[in-house]
Amino acid sequence: MGTLGQSVALLLARCPARWRTALCATVGLVPFAIAVTASCLDASPGEIRGGKPLAPLSFRQYAVNLRKVPARPVIPAHFEFINRGRTPLKITELVPSCGCLNPKLEGDKQIFQPGEVGRFFVRVATANETPGPKHYTIRVKYEAPEPAEELLTFRLELPQRKISVEPAEVYFYQLDGRADERTIYVTDYRGGDLTIEAAESSSELVAVTVGATETNPEGHQRIPIQLAIPENVPAGRRVTSVKIRTNDPDYHTLYVPVLIEALPTGEKGIIPASATTVEE
């Protein structure tokens, strides 16, 4: 194949004489037109005006979808992030849509320098949740140095339960200083010989008593566990948990989050959210 110049010369040679002058003029204008076009176009990218500055907290994934998961006692997941700002960044709070996620920063580290990478973990106890698709969110609150937050999503589909714990979370609201109690049930859906080897609270405020095995209305065996708090619990909000150990090798350890809110004796109203104590 010849060059462009050779092709043009061959074309001119084959044209009638009366066309050659006009064709030569047209071909001669091509370089000029290219030069004018190039001078009018700015090849360098222009500044994007009015664009929102990038957030200093950046996550590798803002949505985690595990889809259908196998039948396991606990389903873990994690979110990884980086501080791409110019100042230190502090993670102040992880707020899940469900307390069952129990999000925790790796190593309980809260402050991250520019360019530093961190991660936090969530976990779903399958015995505490009904089967089917689940959609959770986690709000990550931080300061860098101005307060801000990011919203993450966590999806999965839980299989049919083998063992369940109901309710999945327990709440005590002591507004008048009276003692109170709740009952949770550990149910075996497989028709096995499930027993509770031990059950204990991480807080001395919650007394735990394991009852005798009974049959629920659907014909499944279940074991009641009674939780009780005494009179006049110290004022404030406390997040604790109950640890249950069974004889099942697949579901040997189960956890139930417990929230206790108490007002000072004689007062009525809403307890401020800042009065929070975590006991684990």
Classify residue 72 by burial, with Cβ atoms within 10 Å: 0-12, 13-18, 19+.
middle
pLDDT tens digits, residue range 41-68? 443 444 445 556 789 999 999 999 999 9
Q: Do domains 57-158 and 163-278 have the same CATH topology?
A: yes
Query: 249 pLDDT band (50/70/90 cuts)?
Result: confident
Rounded average pLDDT over 129-152: 95
Residue 277 scores a pLDDT above 50:
no
CB < 8 Å & 24+ apart, contacts of 45-51? none
pLDDT range class, residue 8, cuts 50, 70, 90? low
- Is the pLDDT at 262 greater than 70? The verdict is yes
Threshold 0.75, pTM exceeds: no
Tokens 């807080």, located at residue = 203
Protein fold of 57-158: Immunoglobulin-like (2.60.40)
Q: H/E/C letters for each residue in 116-137? A: CEEEEEEEEEHHHCCCEEEEEE
CB 222 within 8 A of CB 213: yes
To the question of domain 163-278 being in CATH 3.30.365.10, the answer is no
Helix axis angle for 4-14 and 17-40, nearest 10°, is 150
Query: Which of 228 and 127 is assigned the larger pLDDT?
Result: 228
Which residue reads 């307060």 in tokens? 147
Range with the poorest average pLDDT among 14-18, 31-35, 88-92, 217-221: 31-35
What's the average model confidence in pLDDT over 96-115? 93
The mean-pLDDT minimum among 44-58, 73-87, 128-142, 253-267 falls in 44-58
| Domain regions of the chain by residue span | 57-158, 163-278
Q: Which uninterrupted H or E stretch holds 170?
A: strand 170-174
Give the sign of the dihedral formed by CA 125, CA 126, CA 127, CA 131: positive
Confidence class for position 274, pLDDT limits 50, 70, 90? very low
pLDDT exceeds 50 at position 110:
yes
Tally of CA atoms within 13 A in the half-sphere of 261 that contains its CB: 13
More confident residue, 74 or 28: 74
Collapse the DSSP code of 58 into the 3-class scheme (helix H, G, I; strand E, B; otherwise coil) and give the result.
strand
Q: What is the pLDDT averaged over residues 127-146?
A: 93
Instruction: Look at phi and psi of residue 243 and say left if phi exceeds 0, alpha if psi is from -120 to 50, else beta.
Output: beta
pLDDT at 56: 95
- The pLDDT value recorded for residue 220 is 86
> What CA–CA distance (Å, rounded) separates 2 from 9?
11
222, 188 in Cβ contact below 8 A? Answer: yes
Residues 148 and 162: their CA atoms lie apart, in Å, by 41
Residues written for the chain: 280
- Residue 26 in this model has a pLDDT that exceeds 80: no
End-to-end CA distance of the chain: 80
- Which position has the token pair 């149910």? 187
pLDDT-derived band at 195, boundaries 50, 70, 90: very high
Predicted local distance difference test score (pLDDT) of residue 234? 92
pLDDT of residue 11: 53
Q: Which residue has the higher pLDDT, 24 or 122?
A: 122
